Structure 1
Amino acid sequence: MKPVLSKISSLLLGTTLAVTAIHAADGELSKVMKERGLSEIDVIRAAKTYNPTGVKDKYVVFSSGGQSGQVIVYGVPSMRILKYIAVFTPEPWQGYGYDKDSLAILRQGNVRGKEINWGDTHHPALSEIDGKYDGKWLAINDKANPRIAVLDLEDFETKQIVPNPVFKSNHGGAFFTPNSEYIIEASQYAAPYDNNYHSIDDYKESYRGGVTMWKFDHKIGRIKPKDSYTIEMPPYHQDLSDAGKGASYGWGFTNSFNTEMYTGGIEIGNPPNEAGMSRNDTDFLHVYNWKKLAEVAKDPKNVKIVNGHPIIPMEVAVKNNALFLIPEPKSPHGVDVSPDGKYMIVCGKLDTHASVYSFEKIKKQIDNKEFIGKDPYGIPILDMKKSLHGQAELGLGPLHTQYSNVDGEVYTSLYVDSQVVKWNYKDLKVLDKENVHYNIGHLAGMEGKTSDPQGDYIIALNKLAIDRFQNVGPLHPQNHQLIDISGKTMDLLVDMPLPLGEPHQAVAIRAEKLHPHVRYKMGTNSKTGKQHIGKTLAGQERIERDGNHVTIYATFVRSHINPERITVNKGDLVTMHMTNLERAQDETHGFTIGGFDQHASLEPGETTTMEFVADIEGVFPYYCTEFCSALHLEMMGYMMVKDPNKKYVSATKMKMKTMSPEELKAEYDKAVAVNAATDSVIQSVVAFLKANGFDKHETVANLVTDAFDQYGQIPAEKKKADEALKSGDVEKAILHEGMIWQLMVKTADVGIRAKDTLVTKIATKQSPAAARGATAFAEGGCNGCHVIGKVSSGPDLTGVLQRHENGEKWVSKFIMHPETMYDDAYVKGMIDYFNLKMPDQNMSEKETKDIIEYLKWIDENANLF
């Protein structure tokens, strides 16, 4: 009765505060409350979860996405969803499983050579140091296809998927040891370790359970399969696990069900599994010394190899005093180690009690070899009563427990009663209960399974929502409910529908511990963290052909994709390396080519690769899929796929057949004029090359030779054009002039590359600062709009330091804070002319100073540009 009275007192206090607020709001709040039918307590609860614009949450929650194969991220106390992270399932928005690089991660999860494109994510785990979350890595298991994935919390992306080579399912994963030395993964349903057929009649002899200890490299955030091992266990169904900490460091605890080893057979008249698997009064808690077994596994004599994976047999673990069993209430569903590692709480779904085990008592029996017997496989069994600190009667269907920051205080979910119970595991007293809606499974406390639990809130992960939300059909959302536990009694604050998968378990961490990137270093492969082989900066865009393999090096920057035209043959293998040149936060570009089931998401600085076979003929627009600027719709291009075995009739040629002699002559004159203008560009490049001794530099001379190979074919085409014109065949003359233009374009392309290469060789030597500035200019995406020596998408920057009074200061300010200068008359004129605003590319002060030195170097060598 006391908790109820206390709760009423708390509500009365809240009412008093709310009434005060109502009067202060001059009646406006009262009006809103009346219109919406809100009570004073509703207003208080809403205020506790409301985040004004720009205010961020104290905690971040990572929830499994169940059958979506994803991880769901949301904030507390706002309960606002922040992100879905693709893990075991292709996810188009992030391009996960569509671009080549992320597909390589997804394919790591193939099982026995079969592509698996979904997963049943269950238990997320955060990496730990000294038993405390460090905000570096997240691991999560796939129950359906026994796998563990590792996510990097610097960018919230999946970096590794590791299938278990001997398990056929897992529920008991993933759980980090206190210093992230290992990730614990327990099998769920016992099955043979090998991949052969075994009759169910041979269950006790051929089927096995187990716990895999995945060695984890915390520095790089990767599982190391070769340094991992599995502890063989009986064919009981192992369930959830937890790693000891503090007093119990080095030990692991995994509970189980079906110690009856029942195998069903409802189709042949046997009782169903749920009857046969819950016949015994108790099941077994597995207690194992993973630290000792890690050393044991290093000796090849102590392991057997199955599917290339080392397994420590039960008899070896027993011989090394490293594997024991303790009876626990039947059909348990979780074991939760206390912050100091001295206690383990186990709840049985079919018992009303929570059982609190004392590690000190367990260790004493182990040290004294006090066993009450052995199981059929020779594993020593400890006495349950001698292992218990005590039991507390909580209610119907106790499941999972989270610890608070108050010594001895814990919160446990009651599945059947649809409640959360607050109790003290040391004095075994119930303190409070809170109704939830409905059939709660896991609980998520704020760092509630660590050595440093925070209290504040508990989240009830409810399996059913029933009547809580708008009816959206027979498939209902699931319901996460936020409960305030900061007072003496619990207070249910808010419901949050989750319309994705079955969010099974969640972990919460203080937001201040997370330090994710807002951009990548230019050209980064986000899946490896290293420089991408396809890194492309502005000016390096190109299309290369090697047989039927076409490789495209492309860049993205507001508001264009370069190149904008790609022509390939039907059947070509197309590899497209794409680099987002943006450095501005949140300036993501997406990319798709219609008809080929391709999509990529490119965050600022990222390079990724798309690869596909152009197996259908036609014209296929491609575009940026993220609305990135006012000219977003113009950020597009065309891929044209032609059949090399077909003859195509030029539409231009067909048009000529309908033209009058006067129109044909005008078309011819236009073609000649275009060629003359193009040739003048070529001649200026040739003059530059000759004047600056290109032949003294082998790489430049080779490019010039390539250019002249193309240019040397022009006289023959010009002769044919002149002869056709003289004979009166204007149409034919136009076609030959068109061929001349094609040769000129190829010549100009190579010639300009030769000129740019020569400039780097003959210009004055760059100072270290200018060299750094050139790199910052390129990797900062500046040359996506500014081409030195000519006007492009932005003005030519040659001489920019002389255009303004105190030019260095003016340019520095414009680079670092362009938005503050948009109203400057000169800048406004540039914006109006180019129809673009200079973006903030987040250049540091040092990078800006280096760019100024680079611009000075450009001015010193202005005659070369």
Structure 2
Amino acid sequence: MIKKYLHIMCYVTLGFLFVTQTVLAESQFQEIMKKRGLTEEDAIAALKVYNPSGKHDEYYVFVGGGQSGQVLVYGVPSMRPLKYIGVFTPEPWQGYGFDTDSKEVLRQGNVRGREINWGDTHHPALSETDGKYDGEYLFINDKANTRIAVIDLKYFETSQIVVNPIFKSTHGGAFVTPNTEYVLDTCQYAAPLTNDYYPIEAYQDVYRGGVTFWKFDRQKGKIQQKESFSLEFPPYMQDLTDLGKGVSEGWAFTNSINSELYTGGIEKGLPPFEAGCSRNDTDFLHIYNWKKLAQLAKDDKNIKIINGHRVIPIDVAVKNSVLFLVPENKSPHGVDVSPDGRHIIVSGKLDTHASVYDFNKIMKLIQNRDFEGKDSYGIPILDMKKSLYGQVEVGLGHLHNTFGKEDGTIYSSMYVDSQVVKWNYKELKVIDKIGIHYNVGHLEAMEGKSADPQGEYLIAINKLAIDRFLPVGPLHPQNNQLIDIGGKKMKLLLDMPIPLGEPHQGASIRASKIRPEVRFIMGTNSRTGKPHVGKTLAGQEKIERKGNHVSIYATVVRSHINPERVTVNKGDHVTMYITNVERAQDETHGFTIDHYNVHTSLEPGETTQIDFIADIEGVFPYYCTEFCSALHIEMMGYLLVKDPNKNYEWIQKTKMQSLSPEELQMEYKKIRASNKATDEVIQSLFFFLEEKNYTKYTTVKNLVDDAKDQYAKIDLEREKSAKAYQKNDINNAILFENMIWQYMIKTADSAIRAKDLLINNIATPKSESAKKGEIAFREGGCSGCHVIGKISSGPDLIGVLKRHRNAEQWVAEYVKNPQSKFNEPFMKKMIEFFNLKMPNQNMSDEEIKNIVEYFKWIDENADLF
């Protein structure tokens, strides 16, 4: 009965504590909301997007960076930026466009021999398998300079740029076939396909549009330009494209504006282009069979060669029944195929309706050759009414669409109305609308253009921000807004300012599908994925001269660049091959040389190349640009450029006052003793790791491999030290012993991290209270003096609960009020020994209770520390 009563009392007490904590938390919550003027809806939105420290997002989003020429990567739901990928524009942090290897990729984008260093990135497209995103590659177009880039998502780096040889503007890219056989890139502003001059009066006769089919080799990760081809279109200005899937696989759909074939002439008193090209009630949706076109392109009889590129003429496509037109909404700006491939949704900027076409009806009309006529270029035109599934009035300025998870659900952007509209394209009815800030362009529901849309969240990619953020001058950031689409009503969660370019379309993918590498195979050229010609391992560093070409084979590792001094002649062509010989994840090094406008980022295992002409005499420091260790600032060297035609009058060098022989010997013995002691610690760490079978844990093994790599370099330094000592060169012997210490510290750093991680894997699980106690111990400042398993600024805490009577109570009282114990005999001796008194860390009773539980866990696992 007494036991039962005690249990009840315990439950009541615990319940009271829980209620008290909850009330306190709610009080603090309300106080923060009141102080910041937040509503409950604001607080819920914040909770939905909040990721605690260390927690990863559910989705990656890749957004075309517009005039930045880059791709922006961020996570959802947090909307935290993760990376800018340099694509068509140099990007200094990653060294993109500043080292020779990345510059070679950037220079692939030269247009007609002209160096281009910017781009207008619009539409990213993820590689697909069976119409579903597979996370291997990303493609993006450059509207301004008619280029497509390939980004390898193993490394999040641009690996290839190809230039369209016949188009002068390609807004409609990139779009991929359901198994990434081809990447489609559609012309926008019609122009002659050759590079010849033709007057604007020749517009209808000579100017043309079209679509290019870039053949993609997935194994090589590269576009095969010789196997690629284009289909000629009339000079309607083609816009966006989507590929069929499911029932419509093998077909593609491209919309267009300017069925009027108007060319403007405002400078001559004619109506402006925008008036003349929107006169007709409809424009043309192009429908074509890309699989049959790919077969036609293999036969030389079906193609003409323009600028070295294979082009299928309009008449060949018509003759082989693979190209058709159907009228579509006036001035469309988007076409999207439903996940099952049956419905084709077309927007219309100047039409309040969305049009839903039925692929089955389209195929029936084509099979029956039921056409309402032909356009002036001989292309059969299908009847719009017979092709339609139906239309829905959605609003003003309908631009783009993306699909939701629920069957028939689609979301559309209304630029003029500044709204996102949720509607059902099968039931042809509007479901919901939400206001956007402001003037939404593209939008992206998670994986919303694939055969497997996920719903959950939607990104509204807005063109204006106006008053949403702190003012930064007349050029405002643009605004990506996160919307919760998981419920019946859409809810705005978060605004994200975009401080570069004009973001266009986004492509999203589940984070679980992306499998990036965290290090390169040693000596890899990241742009090719193959071993670099300049691969250099530790100990292989060298400088070679052939005529006036100097080649430097260098390595970087915490915390030095080898070689540290390079002397060349003025006018030499200098090539530096630099290898990051680290194996530890995230141990990036950078490299730059004063004056020479070169920079590279070297991830673990990567080799890069830098080329420059040493055209100015002088002394030029080089250094690691990425803060990589405690001795980062010391990671440097000198490029010395001398004029071979000059006679130098050397100034007598002043010698530093050296230590006496006796003092040198003492210094040498001191550092040898320190190294011996450090080595004993390292051996104990290795023994512990081996004893506990560390190889079973991949992450631990990686750290141990890194530690052993560092330790393996010590033997050579010992040999150098011994030789110097034998020659009585004590100065250099000390320097080599210092280098041994450096390698030991790096070894110990990785080994200690490995040990800590291994302990977390093999120790008994912590209770929730012990977990909280560990956090309180670290965040409360206790770890500044106490190191578990060893004496530091304060005593080791293993066994602290066995040093006192009623130890748990004693420890709790001491943490609560340290001064209350200072006069106890034991504590007097401790204070005298460490010459330090424990400060009051102002821990709460709950935190102290949890710390005691953490100390219990430490004692349970004392043999591991």
Q: TM-score range by the shorter chain?
A: 0.7 to 0.9
Counterpart residue identity of residue 566, structure 1: V
Cα–Cα, structure 1 residues 153 and 782, in superposed 2: closer, same or farther, change >3 Å?
farther
Q: Secondary structure at the match of 2:334?
A: strand
1:314 aligned onto 2:314: yes
3-state SS, counterpart of residue 241 of structure 2: strand
Query: Normalised by the size of structure 1, how large is the TM-score?
Result: 0.76
Instruction: Write the letter of the residue equivalent to 1:531.
Output: P
Structure 2 equivalent of residue 392 of structure 1: 392
> Is the partner of 1:332 in helix, strand or coil?
coil
Aligned pairs (5 A) from 1:809-848: 817=755
Cα deviations by residue, 1:76-100 (Å, 9 ceiling, x for unpaired): 0000000000000011100000000
1:266 corresponds to: 266
Separation of aligned partners in 2, 1:540 and 1:116: 37
Which residue identity does 1:195 align to in structure 2? N
| Distance across 2 between alignment mates of 1:811 and 1:456 | 42
Q: Is the contact between residue 583 and residue 706 of structure 2 (CA under 8 Å) also seen in structure 1?
A: no
**1:470-515 CA distances to partner (integer Å, 9 max, x unpaired)?**
0000000000000000000100001000011000110110000000
Q: Residue 181 of structure 1 corresponds to which residue in structure 2?
A: 181
Q: How does 1:696-711 map to 2 (within 5 A)?
A: none
Matched, 1:346 2:346: yes
Q: Structure 1 residues 334 and 561 mapped into 2: Cα distance closer, same or farther (>3 Å)?
A: same
Aligned counterparts of 1:221 and 1:637: Cα–Cα separation in 2: 37
Match of 1:728 in 2: none
How far 1:25 moved relative to its partner? Answer: 1.5
In the other structure, the counterpart of 1:212 is 212
Q: Which residue identity is paired with 2:533?
A: I
Structure 1 match to 2:303: 303
Q: Where does 1:720-739 land on structure 2 (aligned, <5 Å)?
A: none
Q: Deviations over 1:770-797 (max 9, x none)?
A: xxx9xx8999565556526535477879
State the alpha-carbon separation in 1 of the partners of residues 581 and 514 from structure 2.
26
> Once the 2 structures are TM-superposed, how far is the Cα of residue 259 of structure 1 from its aligned partner?
1.1
Distance of 2:452 and 2:53 partners within structure 1? 30
After superposing the two structures, state which structure 1 stretch, 22-31 or 445-454, moved more: 22-31
Contact 1:433 1:490 in 2 (8 A): yes
Q: What SS class does the counterpart of residue 227 from structure 1 fall into?
A: strand
Letter matched to residue 787 of structure 1: L
Distance in 1, Cα, partners of 2:20 & 2:223: 56
- Partners of 2:22 and 2:478 in 1: CA distance: 34
2:716 alignment partner, SS class: coil
Query: Pairwise mapping of residues 509-520 of structure 1 onto structure 2 (< 5 A)?
Result: 509-520=509-520
Q: Give 1:781-820 correspondences, 5 Å limit.
A: 787=716, 789-790=718-719, 792=736, 817=755
Match in the other structure for 1:130: 130
SS in 2 for 1:333: coil
Question: In structure 2, how many angstroms separate the alpha carbons of the residues matched to 1:116 and 1:480?
Answer: 29
- Name 2:15's counterpart in structure 1: none
SS of 1:205's equivalent?
A: helix
Maintained 8 Å contact 1:581/1:784? no
Tell me if the contact between 1:581 and 1:781 (Cα under 8 Å) persists in the aligned partners. Answer: no
Matches within 5 A, 1:216-295: 216-295=216-295
Letter in 2 for 1:603: E
TM-superposition CA deviations, 1:680-707 (whole Å, max 9, x none): xxxxxxxxxxxxxxxxxxxxxxxxxxxx
C-alpha deviation, 1:537, in angstroms: 1.0
Q: Which moved more, 1:787-796 or 1:192-201?
A: 787-796
- Give CA deviations for 1:841-862 in whole Å, capped at 9, x if unaligned: xxxxxxxxxxxxxxxxxxxxxx
Indicate the larger mover: 124-133 or 780-789: 780-789
Q: Are 2:262 and 2:276, in contact at CA under 8 Å, matched by a contact in 1?
A: yes
Distance 1:491 1:394, change over 3 A: same
Distance 1:106 1:191 in 2: 25
Contact 2:707 2:751 in 1 (8 A): no
RMSD: 2.8
Alignment of 1:469-618 (within 5 A): 469-618=469-618
Deviation at 1:326, TM superposition (A): 0.3
Aligned residue type for 2:62 = F
Partner Cα distance (1:80, 1:777) in 2: 31
Aligned counterparts of 2:140 and 2:750: Cα–Cα separation in 1: 46
* Shift in alpha-carbon separation, 1:779–1:368, aligned structure 2, 3 A: farther
Amino acid at match of 1:366: I
Is contact 1:119–1:142 with CA below 8 Å preserved after alignment?
yes
| SS of the residue 2:633 aligns to | helix
1:10-29 to 2 correspondence within 5 Å? 23=23, 25-29=25-29
C-alpha offsets along residues 355-405 of structure 1, whole Å, 9 cap, x if unaligned?
A: 000000000000110000000000000000000000000011111111111
Task: Give how far 1:533 is off.
Answer: 0.9
- Distance (Å, rounded) in 2 between the aligned partners of 1:116 and 1:779: 46
Distance 1:38 1:421 in 2: 27
Q: Is the 8 A contact 2:706 2:750 kept in 1?
A: no
Residue in structure 2 matched with residue 93 of structure 1 by the alignment: 93
Give per-residue Cα distances to partners, 1:191-222, cap 9 Å, x unaligned. Answer: 00111111111011110000001111122221
* Deviation digits for residues 638-669 of structure 1 (CA, Å, limit 9, x no counterpart): 1111111111111227x69xxxxxx9xx99x9
Cα separation, 2, equivalents of 1:267 and 1:370: 43
Q: 1:260 to 1:431 in 2, by over 3 A?
A: same
Residue 414 of structure 2 corresponds to which residue in structure 1? 414
Return closer, same or farther for 1:777/1:283 CA change in 2, 3 Å cut-off: closer
Answer yes or no: is the 8 Å Cα contact 1:521–1:605 preserved in 2: yes
The question of whether the paired residues in 2 share the 8 Å contact of 1:538 and 1:783 is answered with: no
Contact 2:717 2:737 in 1 (8 A): no
The amino acid of 2:304's aligned partner reads K
CA distance change for structure 1 residues 782 and 112 in 2, over 3 Å: closer, same or farther? farther
Q: 1:778 and 1:41, CA in 2 relative to 1: closer, same or farther beyond 3 A? A: closer
Distance in structure 2 (CA, Å) of the matches to 1:342 and 1:393: 21
* 1:212-271 superposed Cα distances (whole Å, 9 cap, x missing partner): 011111222211111111000000100000000000000000000011111111101111
Query: Could you tell me which residue of structure 2 aligns to residue 852 of structure 1?
Result: none
Give the counterpart letter for 1:425 in structure 2: Y
**Amino acid of the structure 1 residue aligned with 2:292:** K
Q: Structure 1 CA distance, aligned partners of 2:339 and 2:643?
A: 68
> Which residue of the partner structure matches residue 331 of structure 1?
331
The aligned amino acid for 1:83 is K
Partner of 1:262: helix, strand, or coil? coil
Code of the residue aligned with 2:371 in structure 1: it is F
Q: Cα gap change, 1:785/1:455 in structure 2, threshold over 3 Å: closer, same or farther? A: farther
Please state if 1:102 is matched with 2:66.
no
Other-structure match for 1:427: 427
Q: Which amino acid aligns with 2:103?
A: L
Q: Write the letter of the residue equivalent to 1:309.
A: H
Cα 1:294/1:823, change in 2 over 3 Å: same
Q: Which amino acid aligns with 1:518?
A: V
1:139 aligns with 2:68: no
**1:735: which partner in 2?**
none
CA distance in 1, matches of 2:231, 2:482: 38
Deviation at 1:827, TM superposition (A): 13
Residue of structure 1 equivalent to 2:667? none
Deviation, 1:26, is 3.9
User: What is the CA–CA distance in structure 2 between the aligned matches of 1:176 and 1:195, rounded to whole Å?
Assistant: 27
Any conservation in 2 of the 1:537–1:779 contact (CA below 8 Å)? no
SS in 2 for 1:72: strand
Deviation of residue 588 (structure 1)?
0.5
Query: Which runs of no fewer than 5 residues in structure 2 stay unpaired?
Result: 1-18, 665-701, 722-735, 760-786, 794-865
Contact 2:535–2:577 (CA under 8 A) maintained in structure 1: yes
Kindly provide the CA deviation profile for residues 797-853 of structure 1, in whole angstroms up to 9, marking residues without a partner as x: 9xx9xxxxxxxxx9997795488899888999xxxxxxxxxxxxxxxxxxxxxxxxx
Equivalences for 1:436-475 in 2 at 5 Å? 436-475=436-475
1:628 equivalent in alignment to 2:628 = yes
Letter in 2 for 1:160: Q
- Percent identical pairs in the alignment equals 65
Contact 2:208 2:233 in 1 (8 A): yes
Question: Structure 1: which 5+ residue stretches go unaligned?
Answer: 1-18, 657-662, 674-772, 801-809, 829-865
Are residues 192 and 589 of structure 1, via their aligned partners in 2, closer, same or farther at CA, if it must alter by over 3 Å?
A: same
